[in-house]
Chains A and B, each alone.
Chain A
Amino acid sequence: MNYSCQDAAEALAAHALDALPAGERLLLLEHLAECRDHDEELARDREVAGRLSLSLRPTAPPGRLRAALLEAFDREAALLQPQVAPAAQEPDALPAPASTDAVAAEPARQGSVLALLRQPALAYGIAAALLIAVVGLAAWNLSLQDDARVLTTSAAGPGMSLRVSYYSNQQVAIFDLDMPPPAAGHVYQAWMISEGKPVSLGVLPSNHGRIAFAGDMSHAEAVAISLEPMGGSSQPTTPIVEAKF
């Protein structure tokens, strides 16, 4: 479906008010990622929308909320501190990260990703030939339009491909995937890897096409897809497709 500039212009106000249905919201986000003509208008709409809450009667927050916030900030700050580099990597391990500000805290995260990759389940072969690929920084496609808006990563292999775009301002991740049909009695499940731990995003309704997940993934180190028994699992149990942000 083509989503024109006219369509986008008509939807901006509703979008600023969080009133777009999920499907149209995705279409608009994709359009905005490619077209910058609406930036000023959207910014103005958001400015107005942000003031509407001020009309409501304020509620005094409980004292514990401030303490909880400060503790959360401290945890966030601690995670961003550079960590001691892990022990020497195996020859076929992840490539060394480029020395950019964006990956100043990468060693600890890389260690977590390596630990996942070394799970025993990864040694098993699966008839569906799941792709096992870790995309290093060389494949990390940071959008040149606005580095605060879209983070992308991708992985590809024989007969399958995965591309994930995370719209940070909107907190929506779009999975573009093309995977072989899952084995009978199994489904694909998407995960976010945060602080070295997998967090389920949900069972994928399809093995190909575009699927969106809403949520805060700004702290995700990677995204992954695993093959699970029908209904999904609380933890990944099979070899995973993984793409690192």
Chain B
Amino acid sequence: MGVSKDAEDVVQESFLALWRQAPRLDARRGLRSYLMTIVHHKAVDRLRRQSRRPEVVLGEDAPLRESDEAGPEEVTEQALEAAEVRAALASLSREQQSVIELTYFNGMTIAEAADQLKIPVGTVKSRLRLALGHLRRRFEGAS
């Protein structure tokens, strides 16, 4: 989110929401992914209300590049999972990466992404659908 206080607020709100919903959580879903869903939703909501945009750009120094932070330090389970997700994202077509980047990582709506990419909204929806399907099969294949 780029602003520390906003990020802390979002994290606190998200944990509280998770805590309140805990008795009703679907046991089949991973808790961490569930929490991330909440965090993303609240972060995007706050950014849109403040008419701000995060500064996440895909490129050579972007988080999606593999092995950009591998170092001599011990590789933890979290780092391995992060690498797996980044590899999965890198396996998407360029068109699918673009819509994921604009909507998920940059908080755009499908209408805004369509306008930026100069493609119909329906095409954005379709690419997002295909992208998530591809990622799901990739994650399922890896597990």
Contact = CB atoms under 8 A, between A and B. Distances in A.
29 contacts: A10-B122, A10-B126, A12-B129, A13-B131, A16-B132, A17-B132, A18-B45, A18-B107, A21-B109, A49-B37, A49-B40, A50-B33, A50-B35, A50-B40, A51-B36, A54-B81, A54-B82, A57-B63, A57-B69, A61-B11, A65-B12, A69-B12, A76-B19, A76-B20, A147-B24, A148-B24, A169-B21, A214-B45, A216-B17
Contacts of B132: 13, 16-17, 45, 48-49
Given A10-B129, A55-B82, A76-B20, 19 more contacts: A11-B125, A14-B110, A14-B124, A14-B129, A16-B37, A18-B104, A43-B28, A45-B132, A46-B37, A47-B29, A48-B136, A49-B40, A50-B37, A55-B64, A58-B82, A59-B7, A61-B8, A147-B24, A169-B21
A148 B21 contact: yes
B80 to A, nearest CB: 10
Interface in B14-49: 15-17, 19-21, 24, 26, 28-30, 32-37, 39-41, 44-45
Contacts of B78: 54, 58
A10 B108 CA distance: 18
- A interface secondary structure, majority: helix
Interface residues of B, number: 59
A18 B40 contact: yes
Interface in A1-24: 10-14, 16-21
A68 B21 contact: no
Given A13-B128, A47-B30, A52-B89, A20 B11 contact: no
A44 interface: yes
A58 B17 CA distance: 21
